Structure 1
Amino acid sequence: MPRRPGVAGAEDRVSVLLLAALLFPAFPAARAGEDEIPVIQRYLVHLKLGDDLEEVRRIYPPAQEWPSSMDPRGRVTRYRVERAWAKTFPLKVQILHLGFKKGRLVEIQVVYDEKFSSAKTYETMAGDFSLLYGEPVRSGDRFWWADAHTVLRVFPAEIPLAKNGDKAVEWRTSVQIYEKGVFDRVD
């Protein structure tokens, strides 16, 4: 049976398009955008994971000795730095928690001050990070994102207060980045 002019060409084009649509997902370069996990930024308040204590003290010179404690989960030495304890300090930040393991910064936690926390709640902050890193994993009031090396968490931090002799807590917006696996038990 003779073919009509133009019909065979249209059928061939449809076949090629259908074949391309079926094979396109098989090419890794075509799928790279879908499966790729965004890389979590390893900088926070002028500090970078991997910095040593000397570098941190250069950026935020101590006005007094910073209290520290050992976190047994990963043998991380955690320093608590408040605004009054450093000669320079990031704006809108009330407390920094800095974790060091084998002399290197493996954790940075920022607890924002009351004014900033009132203006930008942890939910709002999580929404902002979602625009960069996609949908977070959520557990209760904690949001987090992770790549192959870094974890980013956003959550409310409790700040103990003494009001009129009574003990109380206030909530502050907090952001934390840390090396993935650093708090895994090493026992």
Structure 2
Amino acid sequence: MNIELIKGDITKIHADVIVNAANSSLLGGGGVDGAIHRAGGKQILEECIQIRNRQGKCNTGEAVVTSAGNLPAKYVIHTVGPVWNGEESKSSKLLEDCYKNSLQLAESLNVETIAFPNISTGVYRFPKELAGKIAVETVKNYQSEIIKTVIFVCFDDENEMIYKMILE
């Protein structure tokens, strides 16, 4: 798999799938989640409500898929990252699950490109360096015959610098 790094707005990325750092309600929120729901339009929210009605909330580390609404992607994979509480091993495993489960779901959709935001590093306060290491390691260790390109989309300079250092 080819790994790319972009500083920018994930709602403007042309990829088969963009990943949303969702909350367990799946009903939108702040940060990346709010931006994706605003840019994608009501179709994404309506599909999230259908998922909630079918399965209840989305648990931390799990992932679900909706169409991409008005976004330049085919799908949005919504994954719920862990809120940082200092329990490094448990939180790290849950964050790794976000990336693994999103990649598995993308494979099941038979897509070639997937774009990830910096999951859990905003209001969920996951340490950015640790989150970056987990993201890159999980993607590098994931074997796929289907996914050709993984794009890490950093919204700010700090995350971009962290990912550049990890990827060198």
Q: TM-score, normalised by structure 2?
A: 0.26
**Higher helix proportion:** 2
- Report the structure number with the largest CA radius of gyration: 1
**Higher strand proportion:** 1
Q: TM-score, normalised by structure 1?
A: 0.25
